[in-house]
A and B are shown apart, each in its own frame.
Chain A
Amino acid sequence: MAERDSSLLGGYRVLDLTDEKGLLCGKLLGDLGADVIKIERVGGDPARSIGPFYQDVPHPERSLFWFYTNLHKRSITLNIETADGRAVLKKLVENADFVVESFEPGYMDSLGLGYGDLETLNPALVMTSITPFGQTGPYAHYKATDIVGVAMGGMVYIYGEMDRPPNRLSCPQFYFLGCLHGATGSMVAHYHREMTGQGQHVDVSCQQAVVLSLMVVAEIWDMLKFSYRGMGPFYAGARPGSLPLFSRVVYPCKDGHVFLLVTGASQAGMVASSRALVEMANRDGFALELKDYPWQKIDASSISQEELTRLTDLMQDFIKTKTKAELFEEALEKGILLAPLTNMKDVVESPQLAARGFWEQMEPPELGTTITYPGYPIKITEAPCRVQRRAPLIGEHNEEIYQKELGFSKEELVALRSHGII
């Protein structure tokens, strides 16, 4: 085991029993330095079949989803549906600090591996269960995929074109959100364990994690009885007693799109931002009628839709003559609340991310090439986070864990393998 103080979670062990629903949680604990052991089913975890794949080759050792969500981890295979497999797991639990699982509620209990069982073996254990809706309640056994989950959490309704069904983001978020909150809850429970010696069960609802990501959507309902709905390139502001105010926020430009907010003085920086943008437009002969516009008097509760549309149309006429880079350069310099809508190429080439040393690079020997990963988004002075190792191959660490650590003999390993237990 690693030294306990070499990183924030150095030397603490996580047993990761999850599938795609929970993989990111162990990765996040590994980011902080935990020793994470991915316990895969014999033959490999089904999440290895989730694309995209390295060079588009659909192979269990080529999943880029797997590469990212299993960074830092070691892998052993184990069939916990057999009595011998359960005995092995229990042995591992005795020396573990965290167990993370994402089975259907009740499954672990049915194997005699529920929190109550594991707590008896190791009272200091923190066990984290990540499921779509939580361990109990009327929807606890509902089936969910990403789109079903984000829809139930309210995240689909707030995105969309007006003439089409509301839509999800084109990249799954439901389980990532659950895992993020799972890692947070695990750490709160970890703190309590370190102070008292007492572990506990952390029961995560991915649906609640989605609701917490909606900014002020729930609060708008609570105050104004208005359910926010995605409205194409506009924001729709609720105005009690009148129709919602539509404010354009996505503007086509010469080579793509930018985000720009034009609103009232209630938003800090807004007045200066609008003035600076008009100044820029005026230089090119656009929006001349807005030269001395009284931005500080814009009041979104009373401005007419016609007037706001006139303002944003004038902005639009100017913006479409400029490139993303031209607009963003001046926005940075003058404090204009505008940003380009970047794609992954822009992100990879960002001078800011390079200057921060954001990217992590690994050279998995079996691929013979360098893979670039998003790094940890917090720079920590005393205990910087580093990638411990690339995602493991199926059962890559069976010998290391079973023989060296648990003391199984070669013969016993062979026996376990021939019975389909590892």
Chain B
Amino acid sequence: MTGQVFEGIRVADFSWVGAGPQIARELAFYGATVVRIECHRWPETTRTAGPFKDGITGINRSAFTAAYNVNKYGISLDLNMSRGQEIAGRLVRWADIVADSMSVGAMAKWGLDYAGCKAMKPDIIYYSTSQMGQHGPYSKIKGYGFIGVSLAGYGQVNGWPDRDPLPLFNNYSDFISPYYMIAAVVAALLYRRKTGKGMYLDQSQVEVGVNFLAPLLLDYAVNGRLAGRVGNRDAFMAPHGVFPCSGNDRWIAIAVSCDEEWQNLCNGMGHPEWAGDPRFSTALTRKENEGELEGLIGEWTKSHSAAELMTALQEAGVPAGVVQTAEDLFNDPQLRHRQHFRFLEHKEIGVHAYQSPAYRLSKTPCTFTKAAPCLGEDNEYVYREILGLSDDEIADLLIEGVITTETDMPQVLSGRTRG
């Protein structure tokens, strides 16, 4: 562990589900010690919704949970019990950072909100991430990323102008928000180093989502124009779209941003004469005759494989890429070169894939030290080694049910595969 960026930094991770746990995962990739606190009595949605190993339900079989908790220690603790809150307080005193992504008010109920934690550890850095932020008329909303995505305007800009809006299966704002927070938390650690002061960071995931639609937001705020759905078209580029290829539901994305790329595309298609066709020879005429152009290109692409086309068009100097499926991502030679997927052995799932950060640091690469924990997997290490509890104390906590061991929600495991 020597030489790791965040060596010695400790995180008490009370966050759960999607957006929250990704934040401390990043710190754990670079050497921070992260303890994730969970409870068998209310297992988080990712543990109960799957996807499960072999499709068989089980609280420790979900790759959804595993994905965001790699490199962390996992403990079980009932925060509704006063002894549980007391133990949580010990973790707060141990920690540099406290992480929260619960519904607004939950941490306060346990005495673990920022004020409570600051009283225990004056220089604590504490972050909360929630759909709406900690105050305001909608702040009490309970919900998942789809609520945030819907309220941030995404629902109206996914799909086709002549059809209803489409949902964003990936709860997109849950997967942008963590990275805003990581950058701010790292800055907060350095701020504390210089000033001795901790701080509180309160994130609204809806506000993150709005930032990623800023050009559309400004177009409305400044010009009064309401953005709509445009399918795969672009305001200026043509051709610009997703075209059919041979095989079942296979597609290629092609975008032509200038006349030179248009000529390259015509050569690539074996129709150099189209380059000079007055219907398509300039950016304006291509845009004007876009429908016709798309038809011609689709006729050509549909008898070729997407992978073949990408190679040939890139060779010819045209931006083109396979519309990759999840399966394709695992076989993508570029992602493989970047070691995007790493395989670790999880206690119940077995060997399975974890994702790496999108950036590579030349001198302090990320590390994969530990598959994600089963619920309570690291109780012994954390309670004994980190918090210094005696065997007798640990035994008492187990008997009292403060350290939880099994779920008493038999119906909760529905076996539904998320999505």
Contacts and interface: CB of A to CB of B under 8 A. Distances in A.
Contacts of B190: 8, 190-191, 194
**Which of A216, A225, A348 neighbours the largest number of chain B CB atoms within 10 Å of its CB?**
A216
Contact of A165 (B230, B241, B320): B241
B334 interface: yes
B119 interface: no
B186 A188 contact: yes
Interface string A109-153: 000000100000000000010000110111110111111111111
Interface size classification for chain B: 35 or more
B191 A383 contact: yes
Contacts of A339: 143, 146-147, 150-151
Contacts of A168: 232, 242, 253
A148 B186 contact: no
B326 A264 contact: no
A8 B125 CA distance: 13
A184 B359 contact: yes
Interface string B345-386: 000010011011111111110000000000000000000000
B55 A240 contact: yes
A8 B187 contact: yes
Contact of B417 (A155, A192, A195, A301): A301
Interface in B167-200: 167-172, 174-177, 179-184, 186-191, 193-195, 197-200
Given A152-B322, A156-B323, A240-B54, A161 B158 contact: no
A266 B48 contact: yes
A218 B152 contact: no
Given A181-B357, A185-B359, A228 B216 contact: no
B416 to A, nearest CB: 3
Interface in B324-350: 324-330, 332-335, 337-338, 340-341, 349
B237 interface: yes
Contacts of A346: 153
Interface residues of A, number: 166
Interface in B287-303: none
A44 interface: no
Contacts of A191: 5-6, 186, 189-190
A374 B324 CA distance: 32
A341 B204 contact: no
Contacts, number: 559
A218 B155 contact: no
Given A156-B253, A269-B142, A346-B153, A235 B169 contact: yes
B150 A341 contact: yes
B320 A228 contact: no
A366 interface: no
Contact of B223 (A52, A207, A268): A52
B132 interface: yes
Interface stretch (B74-82, B207-215, B273-281): B207-215
A1 interface: no
A187 B327 contact: no
Contacts of B195: 5, 382
A133 B314 CA distance: 14
B203 interface: yes
Contacts of A261: 144, 146
B255 interface: yes
**Which of B139, B180, B194, B413 neighbours the largest number of chain A CB atoms within 10 Å of its CB?**
B180
B241 A257 contact: no
A168 B359 CA distance: 23
A274 interface: no
A201 B361 CA distance: 6
Which 8 A-B pairs give the minimum distances between C-beta atoms?
A: A300-B416, A341-B155, A185-B359, A301-B415, A240-B55, A377-B207, A137-B337, A221-B326
10 contacts: A134-B337, A166-B323, A167-B232, A208-B338, A213-B175, A301-B55, A301-B414, A339-B146, A351-B136, A380-B188
